[in-house]
Structure 1
C-alpha cells in the first residue's frame, strides 16, 4: 500500500464524524427495508450520499497532499 493510499484511508476516517447525518439516514433506510416485504426498494441513494459527504470533506486534504 502506498503512502497516498494510507493518507486516503486516514483522511476518510477523519471525515466520518462530519457525515453522521448521512450515515444515520442510510441506517434508517436499511431498517425500513428490513421491516418491509417489497423486495424492490433499496438504499443506494442514501449510501451514495454518505460517500459524497466523505469525498467532499476529504478532497481538499487529499489534493493538497499531491502537490
Structure 2
C-alpha cells in the first residue's frame, strides 16, 4: 500500500514488469488453451438462468498456467 502511494505521489510510474510478463504469458499456447476453457465455461454459465455451476476450476487452471509461466520469466525482467 505504501509503495503504491509513493508511485502516485512521485509522478507517472514506469511500466510494471509483472504486468508486462503476465501479458506475454497470456499469449503463450498453454495459457491460451486454459483461457479458452474459462471463456467457454463463462459463456455456458451465463447462458443459463438457474445453474449451480461455477467456473472456479477453469479460473484456477488459467491462473496457475499464467503464474507458472510468469515465475520462469519475471526475474529476467527485474533490474
| Greater per-residue helix proportion | 1
**RMSD over aligned Cα, in angstroms?**
2.2
Give distance in 2, aligned partners of 1:53 and 1:21: 10
Q: TM-score, normalised by structure 1?
A: 0.78
Shift of 1:64: 4.3
Give distance in 2, aligned partners of 1:17 and 1:65: 17
Unaligned runs of 5+ in 2: 1-6, 8-12
Q: How many aligned positions are there?
A: 66
Higher relative contact order (CA 8 A, sep 6+): 1
Q: Which runs of 4+ in 1 moved over 4 A?
A: 64-67
Larger Rg: 2
- SS of the counterpart of 2:53? coil
